[in-house]
């Protein structure tokens, strides 16, 4: 069964304290792995797509990496405005219709 597990469920950081969020996945053929950011009361906002093991993508203080079993979202010197829930999702290669399988998310809080 295809599955996505994110850890930790919640993470509290001080401003400037770098850390990483984990997304472990089990899927029969990975077509793509997606990272989204979700602010309270809003819809998920796209951050990154990773396609193959070894790939890395960066955006401001965020860097996403991918291996054959997991992805990491590294946050360097976070600011309070980085506080949000970060969602990971995978798309399987056999999947007709582009269905995404989501993890439960990591709620990040950055205190000044």
Partner 1 sequence: NAGVTQTPKFRVLKTGQSMTLLCAQDMNHEYMYWYRQDPGMGLRLIHYSVGEGTTAKGEVPDGYNVSRLKKQNFLLGLESAAPSQTSVYFCASSYSASRPDTQYFGPGTRLTVL
State the residues that interact with partner 1 by CB under 8 A.
Answer: 4, 31-32, 34, 36, 41-46, 49, 51, 87, 89, 91, 95-100, 102-105
**CB closer to partner 1 out of 11 and 100:** 100
CB of 12 within 8 A of CB of 111? Answer: yes
Shortest distance (Å) from residue 112 CB to partner 1: 27
Alpha carbon distance 35, 48 (integer Å):
5
Length of the chain: 112
Between 31 and 63, name the residue whose CB sits nearer to partner 1.
31
């Amino acid at each position: 069964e295809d599955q996505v597990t994110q850890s930790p469920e919640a993470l509290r950081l001080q401003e400037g304290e770098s850390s990483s969020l984990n997304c472990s996945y089990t899927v029969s053929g990975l077509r793509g792995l997606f990272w989204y950011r979700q602010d309270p009361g809003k819809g998920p906002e796209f951050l990154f797509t990773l396609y193959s093991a070894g790939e890395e993508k960066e955006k401001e203080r965020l860097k996403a990496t991918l291996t054959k079993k997991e992805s990491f979202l590294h946050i360097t010197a976070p600011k309070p405005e980085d506080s949000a829930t970060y969602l990971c999702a995978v798309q399987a290669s056999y999947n007709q219709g582009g269905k995404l399988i989501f993890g439960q998310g990591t709620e990040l809080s950055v205190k000044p």
